[in-house]
Structure 1
């Protein structure tokens, strides 16, 4: 198993956080991992994306030229990265912010109303976790439990009280693709 994921959106959407969580979860499960962040020049609200590789085999390079999955959290990310998904790969689109449909018909596409679900749960900041929940359900790359352990590492102990709502967001994302 080798999952090559591009996660993209704008700064403040938690793109880097879910990339880190996937990476930490992979390490927890004794998998080979790589995380390569990329930021736009803006302090906040600019472009942000990261390449994450989780594999049962050694990762030769952190650069992804053909993604198994792209998670697009905003329209510019869909426009830029849809073409990076390999044939028969997976595209997960945040349909709360992106009305446009995917142009390709040789990939699997799932539209997740991540922001809408996050607001329903009471915290708009967990839309990224809804997207991650859909990804985990579709790919089984790592377990939800490993991600929740990684969440504690990424957020820190002072925010451990946010684990339950993040677990719920992961579950809601998974329900969207079942």
Structure 2
């Protein structure tokens, strides 16, 4: 078991900058045991300001919890790119041959738009290099984006897109 924390008023590492950053991590692993049988890690991170290669955010929070094969993560920024707020809340599973994530809550909002998930979109990445989107639907007022299907090198797989009234200028 381990427990670590890091707090700094100004952190600068190459192109990464953070003000008032606080990171706490706790984990448990057992030598000789597979991660899926005995593991756990919790990470909490907060910063009043983060900037990485022009990706600028204020009041940033990240919470992640890995418990054996399950993953829960929440990322929130009260100010993203000077005008938007952002929230992503997801859970998932780490399996032997794939990663799967369900998006419980997605919100990217500004004065001009409010993108939200419809239902619970699912993304799966398989070790054989295919990526599947299921019920991947988001809307903002009359704007709508949906992706369903599998990206792979197999000609049998396909991906369907439905895009309505998308205004790229607002993004």
Q: By percentage of residues, which structure has more helix? A: 1
The two structures have a TM-score, normalised by structure 1, of 0.29
Q: By percentage of residues, which structure has more strand? A: 2
